[in-house]
A and B are shown apart, each in its own frame.
Chain A
Amino acid sequence: MGNMFNFDRDRFLRIQNGAIGLKDELDVVIDEVVTKGIKNVFFVGTGGAAILMYAAEHILKNRSTLPAFTEISSELMVTDHQHLGEQSLVILPSLSGTTKETVEAAKFCKEKGATTIGLVGHANTALTEVTDYSFVNFAEDDTSCESFYLQSFLIAFRLMYKRQEFPEYHQWMEELKMLPVALLKVKEATENRAKDFAKKHKDTPYHILSGAGIDWGQTYYYAMCILEEMQWIKTRPVHASDFFHGTLELVEEDTSILLLKGEGRVRSLTERVERFANHFSKELTVFDTKDYPLEGISEPFRPFLSPIVLATLLERISCHLEEVRNHPLTTRRYYKKVPF
């Protein structure tokens, strides 16, 4: 086992196994909701929590006929979303369980008659008080991505299973249990690259990040919630397709491009960015989930897991950036410091 900087293996495993361990309880609720009858599912959150739900929405969109929406809490409350109603299932993730807009959104959805499920890191918080059901799995900034992805997947795949849209469900759920250990190996395998990346880019003021499909959310998340919020580094997250409709013109020899490659059908889109960037920038960094074995996961299920794998390996970069830039991931200039 390689040595990882500022990392607690047991804690990581405990948290991710904790997320998967919610399965039985979640299944009971989802089954009940499906039996009652639902028309659509909403993922509603604030900032990163909402963005982490894109992957589940993406899976549903491309595998199920159940309409799925991801909405930002504050926007959902001011707009009159015509699909939100009594037959909506609303999933509300908030790590702290106290995110103001998400707590308000939960009340708003309840008033519309929807069934609400809160996903939180702490029991007995404002969100758990107002949702019909809540599920608690302790996590912190360095472990919450995987935990939320896993919980959203448990929900999305259970919904599809109940609707007879995912026959491989039981095998998939068995294999998912192997993931936390496989993720640890991903971290170990990335450690040196992450350290080198952080050292090389400690003074880089701007990164273009690109990804697509199920990985688009993770691309966006890493740019906004980590590099911008926690490191105050300017970023430009751009979908691999949109990259060619504007952002490409910024690329110069020394422009840092961070490309996040997954394994699904959208791989061809990120490959196109890779071909371009290889040609015009000397500062292309590619993280490709294909480089990691993920023991215990069969080939057909791998494309679902790329956002989780990326989140897990990117955490290693954050950890090293914090160190070499001497900029704690927890330092904020404004958030929760300046009233607005």
Chain B
Amino acid sequence: MLKFDSNLFLQLVGEEGMAKKGEIERIVDEISNKSFKNIFLIGSGGTVAMMYPYEYIFKSNSSLDVHAEIAAELIVMNNHHLTKDSVCIFASVTGTTKETVAAAEFCKEKGATTIGLVAIPDTPLANAVDYCISTGREKHSFDTFFVHLQLLTARFIHNHGEFPDYEQFTKELALLPQGIVQAVEAFDPRAEQFAIKHKETGYHMLVGAGNLWGNTYSYAMCILEEMQWIKSKSIHAAEFFHGTLELVEEDTSVILFKGEDETRPLVDRVERFAKKITKELFIIDTKDYPLEGISEKFRKFFSVNVNWALTGQISVYLERERNHPLELRRYYRKMEY
């Protein structure tokens, strides 16, 4: 496997990631006990996209009031739901994303309770929030953020009396990294073939829904556009048929992110269409991977983690095949604008 160290993954995401379980439970219990009115999930670019699956999980499993918001917009607007009784959750790998840090300070001024997910402690975001949960390292920090967000989300819903299987869920979550490693092993050759075949492809259409909409949006924007400078269009499976479908031709690259939640039929529909029209359909389906120890009922929650790890392999092969380092930027953080 290119640039994927299974042991390191198991250590960082599995052991060290899950080691935060107790701390996360204490934080959530403390907040649940003093009561709150709603939850805000706040980020910028990839980190707000990372929140979308959890907004979806809340909406489809809980009557808790939840809002996912773009940091920069939140601070200039006057969201009437954001008050001292709000719980605001932020994420930033570096802990320095300007808009996200500003939003954390903004929410604190409103008197809200703030939780920050960062890779490195003692960074501006870490210092601005009431509770900081750090992964300790940048490597695999998104994979660990997903685990931490799952623990946070499940605990909040559990404390609200709507997630009775919480203990079983967290036990199985601990087994997930192992299942992901096996999935990555199985997927790796496909990732390589994709990258070889598509090294010159100038445009990709990415389609997803439900839990995986955030990943779909994020992979197009933060990987293909930002890190490979390839034009890409993410489109929600439920919207695909209302515009974007008209662009599909025989040679249009369409990438489907398939998960296992309630929205799967929406993606199936796009699949049926795309199969008829394009020869360049590539499907990444979490259902193809056994994920040992994970019960059927929880699999839908874990599509986000599995998909993220699989698509990461596409990125490193694209980097190699296109001779375009993932770190290369023309503009971002290179100048003021």
Contact = CB atoms under 8 A, between A and B. Distances in A.
A247 interface: yes
Contacts of B62: 82
Contacts of B272: 340
B46 A245 contact: yes
Interface stretch (A19-27, A136-144, A145-153, A262-270): A262-270
Contact of A239 (B59, B70, B227): B70
Contacts of A332: 246
B225 interface: yes
Most buried by A among B44, B242, B262: B242
Given A224-B244, A236-B233, A242-B221, A75 B59 contact: no
Given A225-B242, A248-B332, A335-B245, A265 B76 contact: yes
A36 interface: no
A229 B246 contact: yes
A236 B210 CA distance: 21
A234 B273 CA distance: 19
Nearest to B333: A244
Interface residues of A, number: 60
A338 B273 contact: yes
B60 A334 contact: no
B266 A246 contact: no
Interface in B55-110: 56, 59-63, 65, 67, 70-73, 76-81, 99
A80 B70 contact: no
A249 B246 CA distance: 26
A206 interface: yes
B101 to A, nearest CB: 14
B337 A275 contact: yes
A75 B263 contact: yes
Contacts of B232: 236
Contacts of A225: 242-243
Interface string A41-76: 000001110000000000001111101000011110
B222 interface: yes
Given A75-B209, A78-B266, A81-B59, A280 B248 contact: no
Interface in B13-66: 44-46, 48, 56, 59-63, 65
Given A241-B44, A242-B45, A334-B248, A249 B78 contact: no
Nearest to B44: A245
Nearest to B72: A241
A241 B277 contact: no
Contacts of B261: 79
A75 B210 contact: yes
Contact of A72 (B71, B233, B236): B236
B231 A234 contact: yes
A266 B77 contact: yes
A72 B337 contact: no
A213 interface: yes
B59 A83 contact: yes
A241 B71 contact: yes
B209 A266 contact: no
Contact of A74 (B70, B79, B266): B266
B297 interface: no
Contacts of A75: 209-210, 236, 238, 263, 266
Interface of B: 44-46, 48, 56, 59-63, 65, 67, 70-73, 76-81, 99, 162, 203, 209-210, 221-222, 225-227, 229, 231-233, 235-236, 238-239, 241-248, 261-263, 265-266, 269, 272-273, 276-277, 329-332, 337
Q: When A and B form their complex, which 6 residue pairs have the shortest distance between CB atoms, in order from nearest?
A: A245-B45, A47-B242, A246-B221, A224-B243, A340-B273, A246-B226
Given A75-B266, A206-B231, A238-B221, 14 more contacts: A61-B77, A61-B81, A62-B80, A67-B65, A72-B238, A72-B239, A74-B238, A213-B73, A228-B246, A235-B233, A241-B71, A246-B221, A247-B221, A251-B330
9 contacts: A64-B80, A65-B80, A79-B60, A80-B61, A232-B246, A244-B45, A247-B221, A251-B331, A266-B76
